[in-house]
Amino acid sequence: MGKIRERFLQCKKNRGGFTLVEMIVVLVIIAILASLMLGALNGYIDKAKEKEVLADCRSVVLAANTVGSEVYSGKTAYRPRTQVQELSGVKQNPDVGSDTGCVVEYDSQCNVIGVACWTGDITAQYLAPNTAYNSSATAKMEIIDKGAIVVSDNWSSLNEHAKDVDETMCREMDQIYAAGAEFGETKGLAKGVTVGELKKAKENKKGFTLVEIIVVLVIIGILASLMLGALNGYIDKAKEKTLTANTRSIYLAAQTVASEQYANGNTTDILSDDKNLADVDSLSGGLLTQYGSGNYAITVEAGKVISVSVTDSGIKKTCTITDGTIKIE
């Protein structure tokens, strides 16, 4: 009994906390894992933003083509820029210096030559085929640098055609939406520094103390643990935004096909025809094929799309657009 007691007391005496070296090693490992996770997170966020901006650009192209066709045929003369914004859900802001915006350029027949949409530093540009900007027979839709935008905010051709329908309204529209200048100017260049300033900054640079390093690593560890929970929520929200944008693209593509068929005298359920569905799939960028035949539904009456619903089986969410109202559940 005495030996057991002695051994117990010896173990108790030898038991201690973590050493400083052990704590530093653990915190360094946490910092490395956090830095790796931050890099992966930034990459995912950038790709999610690119997909969202590309979807916005595709929506604007479809909406702008629809409005351009209506203006050219004399069906409408009212606020084409506002109509594009309402159809696409994308803000029509021609100021490239702003955080978000979009510009559209038309030719003399009210065809869309190009579209550029941006959110922050992520910019997508569409160039129609066989134009001054794109001589190939294939349209271009790609992520570009904001300073490389080649299209301009040009609504003048729409205004000219619309004047034949309602001159008073279009004169007012010309005053409000005058054609913008070419974009792509370099703004906000960084201020230069002298050699003396660089030398002084180098001389004043000091190392970190051990306490500072430990504090920073502890903060990184706490932020990393918090970020893990937030990351899952962000991923779900990004996927929901993508589903909403894709559903809007399918809605606009279906409306374009429905309008064309209705104008040609086809008043039946035009989307029951495989060729028309193929046209919708092509205009939407292959989204019907992407989601699969059992994961979307489109209702059309008298040339007007009543509702569109699309289900993403990956996140088990369904986005529905009914009479312009978007609902996701």
At residue 296's C-alpha, the angle toward residues 114 and 291, to 5°, is 70
Name the pLDDT band for 104 (thresholds 50, 70, 90).
very high
Q: Residue written as tokens 């960028």?
A: 285
Mean pLDDT of the chain: 75
Q: Is the pLDDT of residue 253 over 80?
A: yes
CB 33 within 8 A of CB 228: no
Exposure letters 18-35 (e unless 16+ CB within 10 A, then b): eeeeeeeeebeebbeebe
Q: How far apart are CA 220 and CA 125, in angstroms?
A: 38
| Listed range (31-35, 102-106, 248-252) with the worst mean pLDDT | 31-35
Backbone angles phi, psi at 251, to 5 degrees: -60, -45
Name the pLDDT band for 38 (thresholds 50, 70, 90).
low
pTM above 0.75, yes or no: no
Q: Give the per-residue pLDDT at 89.
A: 83
pLDDT in tens, 185-229: 222 223 333 344 444 544 555 566 677 778 777 787 777 777 766
Q: Is the pLDDT of residue 1 over 90?
A: no
Exposure letters 52-64 (e unless 16+ CB within 10 A, then b): bbbbbbbbbbbbb
Mean pLDDT for the stretch of residues 296-323: 88
Name the pLDDT band for 304 (thresholds 50, 70, 90).
confident
Q: Give the per-residue pLDDT at 143.
A: 92
Mean pLDDT for the stretch of residues 277-296: 87
Token digits of residue 164 = 């034949």
Q: Give the per-residue pLDDT at 309.
A: 93
How are strands ordered across the β-sheet holding 317-322? 296-301, 304-312, 317-322, 325-328
Q: Give the per-residue pLDDT at 267.
A: 64
Between 68 and 33, residue with greater pLDDT:
68
Share of the chain above pLDDT 90, in %: 12
